[in-house]
Amino acid sequence: MGRSIFCAEPARLLCRDGESALFSRRTRGFVPLPLEVREDNGLAMSGMKGVIFDWDGVVIDSSAQHERSWEILAQEISKPLPEGHFKLGFGQKNQVIIPRILQWASEEKDIQDLADRKEEIYRGLVRASGVHILPGARELLIALQEKGVPAAVGSSTPRGNLRAIFAATGLDRFFQAVVCGDDVSHGKPAPDVFLLAAEKLGLPPAGCLVIEDAHAGIEAALRAGMRVLAVATTNPLQDLHAATDALESLAGVTPDRLAAVFLK
């Protein structure tokens, strides 16, 4: 609900027709600000300076291609896939997934070779089938751009994958900074990806809101000193209680809604 402004003395306020006029509490009572002015004030008052988006599961959904690429790689190298491996590894770097979750290799070169091959398979699947932009993501990015709120990508995704999807979707025009798994030594749940994204935006971590879908990403955002909005694309809504706030999806989410999360 919009706030009303009471004036003890005459004050010049913006009217609905865009012109200014003098009002006083004595003669006119209160004057509600136009909706767009109230929303902008709420955004400014929240302290939210920028938004950092995780990638897969927040902006786009290519989980089926990721899961299938692990299956194809497992067949190629004749290795088993542990039950529940995909959910356990979601949001983490391949350099963590391969040795710790899959236990396929321990030597750095072997891990990197497997990771490179997995992503090569993934990009082939994406080229063949395309990717799905999740509901509300593009609309929110457009609205943030119109409000002048900078946005960044903070993802464990390798840069080659991001470039391929940017080329296919044109979404790169909405981001002032992009940080991927290749840019940091420690992936999520370490906070490095989000801290570097904030640095590239020129913003303090406390001024950034993160949008995430994975538990590792939520933990990383909190460890970075940021508020985090979780979306239930990968995990059930009831399992996202660690986040500052959680929603089923970004459908219908506005910058003002993000500012409300930031005030929690």
Q: Enumerate the active-site residues.
A: 54, 56
β-partners of residue 133 are 60
Q: What is the 3-state secondary structure (H, E, C) of the chain?
A: CCCEEECCCCEEEECCCCCEEEECHHHHCEEECCHHHHHHHHHHHHCCCEEEECCECCCEECHHHHHHHHHHHHHHHCCCCCCCHHHHHCCCCHHHHHHHHHCCCCCHHHHHHHHHHHHHHHHHHHHHHCCEECCCHHHHHHHHHHHCCCEEEECCCCHHHHHHHHHHHCHHHHCCEEECHHHCCCCCCCCHHHHHHHHHHCCCHHHEEEEECCHHHHHHHHHCCCEEEEECCCCCHHHCCCCCEEECCCCCCCHHHHHHHHCC
**If 0-12 CB within 10 Å is exposed, 13-18 middle and 19+ buried, where does residue 51 land?**
buried
> Which position has the token pair 């950092």?
52
Q: Are 24 and 10 in contact (CB under 8 A)?
A: yes
β-partners of residue 246 are 230
Tokens of 188: 């999520």
